[in-house]
Amino acid sequence: MELLQPSSVDDLDGGLFLHGGTEVVPLVRDGILSGERLVDVRGLVPRGVHDGTIGAGTTLAELEVEPAIPDALREACRLAASPQLRNMGSLGGNLLQSTRCWYWRLKYPCRLHGGDRCFAREGEHREHAIFANDFCASAHPSDVAAALLALNARVHTTQRELALFELYRVPDEGDRDVVRLQPGELILELEVPTPDASVYLKAMDRKKWSFPQVGVAAARFGGETRIALAGVAPIPWLLDSPAALDAATPLPRTEWKTPLARALVQRALAALQ
Amino acid sequence: MSDLRLSVNGHEYEIRGARVGISLAQLLREELGLTGTKIACNEGHCGACTVQIDGVPTLSCITLAHTVRGDITTIEGLRDHPLVDAFVRADAVQCGFCTPGQVVSAAALVAANPSPTTDEIRHHMAGNICRCGTYPRIEEAILHWQD
Amino acid sequence: MARLIRTEKEVEGRFEEVWLVVEEDALDQWPEGPREVVGRDALRKDARERILGQARYTADVQLPGMLHAAILRSPLAHARVERIDLSAAAAMPGVHAVLGPGDVRGLEQEAGFNGAPIAAVAADTFAHAQRAARAIEIEWEELEVVLDPEEAVRRELLTTEPATYQRGELERGLAEADVVVEGTYRTSVVLHNSMETHQAVCQWIGDMLEVYISTQYVWGVRSAVADAFGLPGDKVRVICEYMGGGFGSKNDPGEYTLVAAELSRRTGRPVRCALTRREENTAAGNRNATIQKLIVGAKSDGTICALGGEFINAVGWSGWSAGTDGPMQMLYACDNVRTVRYGAKINTPPMKAFRAPGFVEGTFGLECLIDELAAKLGVDPLELRRKNYASSNDDKPFSSKNLMACYDLAQEQWDRRHEVRARSTGTWKHGVGMASQIWYGGGGPPSYAWIRIGSDGRAQVVTAMQDIGTGTRTAMAQIAAEELGFPLDRVEVSLGDSSRGPYATLSAGSSTVPSVGPAVRAAAADAKRQLIEIAAQRYHLEERVIGIENGSVVSADGNLNTPVEKLVEVLEDAQILGKGARGPNPTGMSVLTFGIHVVEVAVDVETGEVRVDRVYAAHDVGRIINTMGARSQVEGGIIQGIGHTLSEQRLHDPDTGRILTTTLDAYRMPTAADVPEIVCAFVDKPDEHLTNLGSKGLGEPPIVPIAAAIGNAIRDATGADVHELPISREEMLRALEAATKKERRGAPAAV
C-alpha cells in the first residue's frame, strides 16, 4: 500500500481518495476497493462553513452543532452514525458511501459488482429498496445526501459544478455506478441554499447509531416543497409529492417501508408549516 | 514500510519501518505495547478501540497510523482522570473489554461539557457498545464524575 | 469429612447424575438480612484494572515469537471436502504450518454449515495467515442444504430424540375449558457477540501445554484439551484471569484452541488463534430460533386447566435442544400439560448455550399466550398469575419459592398502569405489561476453594474459577470476609488458573455463586477455626469464647480485642490453610429462581417505533451477596434482553444458508440510547435448603422475562399481538395493522 499526501490539487494523479477513512479503510481491507495507492486529500479539500457553502472536508460532528446551516442538514448529521464516525467522517465522504446491502458488502457477484443477479431481490431483502429496485434493490444509506437533495444543494468538484441530484444515478445494465464522478474528480464544496424551513426525520432500528430504514428530508422554499428520502432506493430519492409513494414498487419484504415513509413524509410536511 | 512519529499520551514515539496500512489500534497495541485500547470488531462499528486525537474520540481500528496528525490520548493517558474512580464507584464495569473505550469517550465529553444531561450523555456515548449492559452505570459515573 | 455420593447436577437446564466426592457441609446459614459484608454494596475488586486497560485479556497476551492462526471456513452450508491442496498455502510468505481436515479435532471433512472450520494456517502475522488460508485449494462436493426447521422435523432430521412431557390429559383439560387460546410464536437466531471474540494462545513448554483462553470454564478446557491431545490433565495449564464476556458461548475450547495447540506443537512456537468479529457472527454459537405452537385452556374463573405446546428448536448442525418447553411445564399449577420438543438438525451454525437457553424463548411464547388468555377472559394478567401459582414442581417441592413475594413487590408498579396508559398522546400509546420468570440457578457440586492466611493477617482465596464480568471475584471475597470476620479489603481472590487452585465449576447456568460460594465459605470457616485455635493458645482462653470481628480477635467478655495481624505475626513464614468444598444439593427438591418484570412501553402506532420507558424487575434468587453487583446483573440482563426483543437478528441467505449479518452495523445490539429506566428489587430471602449460603445465581434470571413483558406491554398499549422476536419495525407495523382490523370487528378491550 502506498499512501500519498499531496498538498495541491495539481499533484493529484490517480489513486483512491482518502479523507476520514470510515468507508475507504474497511472497504480496502475487504478487497472491495483497491488499496494499492491511497491519496490522503485532507490537505486539499476545504473544511468549514461560510455563506451557504460547506467545505466537503467538514466533518458531520462539526455540522451537527453548526447553527449556520439548514435544520434538515444539521439534523441529518446529528442522527447519522455514531459520535466517533461523525468525528471522523467528512461531508463529501458521506455522500459517496456505499450501500449496506449485505450481499454487496460480502462481495457476492451481484449487479453492483458487475455480475448479472440481484441476490437481494431473490433472497433476503428486508432492509432494501422500495423504488428503482428492479435492477438492483440496494438502499442508499446516507441521511446527509437526502437532506442535501431536499435542499437542492450544488456540488463543486475539481472539474465542474453540478446539482446534487445529478451526482447520483440508478445503476443499470450498461453502467453499474451509482455515482457520476470522473476518475480523479474530487468533491470540494457543497453550496447549500437557505430554505424557509427544513426538517429531517429518521426511522431506525435502534435509537442511535443505525442506518436509515426510512429517512425523510423536506425543505420549503417559498411555495415549493422538496422531499427526499434515504434508505428507499439505490440512490437518495427525490419525491415529487407524497402521492409519488403510491408508485413505490416494494419487494415482498420491503412493503413495510411504504406506509412508514408515508407517515414520515406527512409529519415532515406538517413540520414545515 | 515507512518511519512514523506519533505523539501518544504526551510522549513522542519513533516507530521505524511501520507497515503502511497498519491501523493505529494495531500499532498502539503491538508496536507500543499499549494494550489498554481494545480491538473488538476491527471495522469501526463498536467503539472499543476509541482513542482521542487532539481530544476528539476516534476509532483507532479504522485509522491508518500513517495518517494521524495530532496528539493521541489512550486509556493509559487517562490513568489519573477522576472518571476512573467514578466508574469504580458506579460499578460501571462488568467484563471490562469495552470500558477503556467508554472512558476515553466519556473523558472527551466531560472535557467539553463538565455537567452533561442524560440526553447528552446518551448521544455522546452511543458509539461505545457494551454487551454486558453497563450503560446505566456508565451514565451514573458520568453524571457524578466530579463528586 | 469426605464421602462419595451420587447426586443430580444441573447446568442450564440440563440434568445429569454424577458421582462426586464432597465434604459434608456442616455450617448453618447466616440469618436472613444484610451481614457485615455479605448482603451489602461492595465495589468490584477488579474494577480498576479493567477500567484502566491494565487487565490482561487473552486478546492482550503477546508471547515472544508468537504466530497467528487463521481458520479457513466453509463458504457452503453443506458440503464435503473432496480434494484439498494445502501446498500453495504452505509455500506462501510468512507461513509456518498448515492443518487440514482431521489434523486436529474440530477441522472436519464435512461442513454442515456456513462457517464450519476446515483448515488452518499459522503465520508470522494474521494478515499472512489469512492470505494463505485463502490460497488453500478445495474441491467441494455440494450436499443438500436444509434450512427450514419445520421441514427438518417433518423429515426427522433431528439432533436428538423428541422430548415429550405429560401430566394429566391435555384433551380432557381443553374439553373442560371455557376459553381456549392458541398461537404460534417465533423467536429468531440471536448471537452472543461478547466484546472479546473467542480466542486462545497456546504454547508448549517441554511436555506441558499452556493455554491462554477467553473462557467460562478453565477446568473444562483443561479436560477437553488434555483429552484431545492424549495428555494427563495436569500437563495442561489453562489461564484466564480476565475475559471479555461469554454469556454461555465460551464453555468449551472450541476448534480455535485445539487448532492453536496443534499448530504450536508443529511449529514449536506460541500460536494465537482468534476469531474475527465476522467469524464471531457466523460460527461462534447462537441462541437458536424457535417455533412454538401453543395452546392454553382455562375456566371462566381463570383456572388454567390445559397447557400444550409443540416446540421446535432450530438447533443447527449440532448442539443440544434447550428447554423451551420448561416454562410451560413448571410455571403454572395446571393439571393437564403436554409438550413435545424437537431439535431440528439444519445446515446452520450450531447453537451454543446463551443466557438461560430455551427459557428465554419459551417464556416469550408462554407469557404472551397467558396474557392473551387474560384478555380473552377479561381477567387482570397479574391476578391470573397469582391464581395459577404453582406450589410445587410436579410432585417435587421447591427448595424455596418466593414468586408470590415478587408479585407483591411488583403490585404497586402494576397498579400504576392506568396512569401510564393515560400518558398516551397523539400517535404515541403507552402501556404496561408483565411477565413471570422461572429458571434454574442452584448450582451444584463439585467446587472447591482454599484460603491462605499469612503473618500479615491478610487472606487469599484460591480457586480455579472464573469471573466473566459478573463480579464473582468480589462475591467470593465478600463471603470469605464475612465468614472470617475480616474487612473486605483484607481479602483477595486468586482465580483463573488451573494450575493454581482446585476445581471450580463453569461460570454458566448462573452457577458460580451457588457452587463456588459455599466452598469458599467452608474454606473460610476452616481457616477461622485454625485462627481461633491459635488465639486460644496464645491468649489462654477457651476456643468457644473467641471470635473474629472486623479484623480483630475478640473474646466474649470483651477483654480481648486485638488485630488479627497481631495474632498471626508470630507465624512468620508459616501459613494457615483452609479448605472447603461444595456439598450436595437438597435431594428431592426443585431448586429454581423466580421473578417478575413489569414494563412500561410507548408505541408510535403510525411508525411502529417501540420505546421501552421503564422496567421494574423483582427477583428471588435466595440470598444476595453483593447488592451492587446484583443490580448490575439485572440491568445487564434486561438490556441484553431488549436487544433480542427489538433489534437483534441473525439472518442467512434463504437459498444458500450463508450468514448475512456478519458485522455489528447489521447485527444491532442496544446502545446507551436504548436503555430504559430500570428499577430492581430483590426478595433476598436465603433458600434454607440450599448450601451454607442459601444463594442462587443471578446471571440468567434477568434476561428471561423481558421480551414477554415488552410484548405484553405493547398489547396493553395498542391492542396489537406480537408473536415474533425481534419486534422489528416490520413486525410491529404488521401487528398494528392486524389489531386495527380486529378492532373494527369488535375485540375485547384491555383490563
> Per the omega criterion (within 30 degrees of 0), is the bond before C726 cis?
yes
C74 and C52 together in one domain: no
Distance CA B78, CA B111 (A): 12
The strand pairing partners of C332, in sequence order, are C389
Instruction: Give the torsion sign (CA, C586, C589, C592, C598).
Output: negative
The residue among C546, C581, C616 that closes a domain is: C581
**A26 to B44: CB separation less than 8 angstroms, yes or no:** yes
pLDDT tens per residue across span B28-76: 999 999 999 999 999 999 999 999 999 999 999 999 999 999 999 999 9
Domain range holding C6? 2-56+443-581
Q: Which of B35, B95, B103 faces C245 most closely, judged by CB atoms? A: B95
Residues of B with CB under 8 A from a CB of A: 20-21, 23, 43-44, 47, 50, 56-59, 62-64, 66-67, 105, 122-127
The pTM of this model reads 0.97
**Which residue in chain B has the smallest CA separation from A5?**
B67
Q: Is residue C36 part of a domain?
A: yes
Least Cα separation, residue B129 to chain C (angstroms) = 6
B16 and B54 together in one domain: yes
What is the number of domains present in chain B? 2
CATH number, domain of C131, equals: 3.90.1170.50
Least Cα separation, residue A128 to chain B (angstroms) = 20
B16 and B71 together in one domain: yes
Provide the pLDDT for residue C750: 53
B87 and B139 together in one domain: yes
CB C617 within 8 A of CB C641: no
DSSP string, C346-369: -SSPPP---SSTTHHHHHHHHHHH
C391-413 burial: b if 16+ Cβ within 10 Å, else e: eebeeeebbbbbbebbbebbeeb
Q: Is residue C551 part of a domain?
A: yes
Q: How many helices (H) and strands (E) does chain A have?
A: 10, 12
Distance CA B100, CA C565 (A): 37
CATH code for residues A1-44: 3.30.43
What is the number of domains present in chain C? 3
In terms of phi and psi (left: phi > 0; alpha: psi -120 to 50; beta: otherwise), the region of A83 is alpha
pLDDT tens per residue across span A119-164: 999 999 999 999 999 999 999 999 999 999 999 999 999 999 999 9
- A38 lies within 8 A of chain B by CB: yes
C215 and C310 together in one domain: no
**A263 to C647: CB separation less than 8 angstroms, yes or no:** no
Place of cell 439472518: C651
B84 and B71 together in one domain: no
CATH number, domain of C26, equals: 3.30.365.10
Provide the pLDDT for residue A108: 98
Provide the pLDDT for residue C570: 84
CATH code for residues A45-272: 3.30.465.10
Domain range holding B104? 78-143
Distance CA C118, CA C352 (A): 20
Asked if the ipTM is above 0.90, the reply is yes
Provide the pLDDT for residue C751: 53
Instruction: Give the torsion sign (CA, C536, C539, C544, C549).
Output: negative
For C:598-637, CB contacts with B below 8 A are: 628-629, 631-632, 635-637
Q: Which of C652, C653, C674 faces A207 most closely, judged by CB atoms? A: C674
**B64 to A87: CB separation less than 8 angstroms, yes or no:** no
pLDDT tens per residue across span A159-169: 999 999 999 99
B66-83 burial: b if 16+ Cβ within 10 Å, else e: bbbeebbbbbbbbeebeb
> What average pLDDT does range B96-109 have in this prediction?
98
Average pLDDT across chain B, whole number: 97
Provide the pLDDT for residue C214: 98
Beta-strand pair C546-549/A154-157: unpaired
> A87: which chain B residues are within 8 Å (Cβ-Cβ)?
56-58
Segments of chain C scoring below 50 in pLDDT: none
Distance CA C55, CA C207 (A): 28
Amino acid at C523: A
Distance CA A245, CA A230 (A): 13
Q: Which of B41, B93, B98 faces C47 most closely, judged by CB atoms? A: B93
Q: Which of B33, B87, B128 faces C51 most closely, judged by CB atoms? A: B87
C409 and C294 together in one domain: yes
Segments of chain A scoring below 70 in pLDDT: none
B26 and B16 together in one domain: yes
CATH code 3.30.465.10 region(s) in chain A: 45-272
Confidence of residue B1 (pLDDT cuts 50, 70, 90): confident
C2-29 burial: b if 16+ Cβ within 10 Å, else e: eeeeebebbbbbbeeeeebebbebebeb
The residue among C528, C553, C581 that closes a domain is: C581
DSSP string, C712-747: HHHHHHHS----BSS--HHHHHHHHHHHHHHHHT--
Contacts of C559 (CB under 8 A, 6+ apart): none
Q: Which of A22, A25, A83 faces B126 most closely, judged by CB atoms? A: A83
- C699 lies within 8 A of chain B by CB: no
B14 and B61 together in one domain: yes
Provide the pLDDT for residue C739: 94
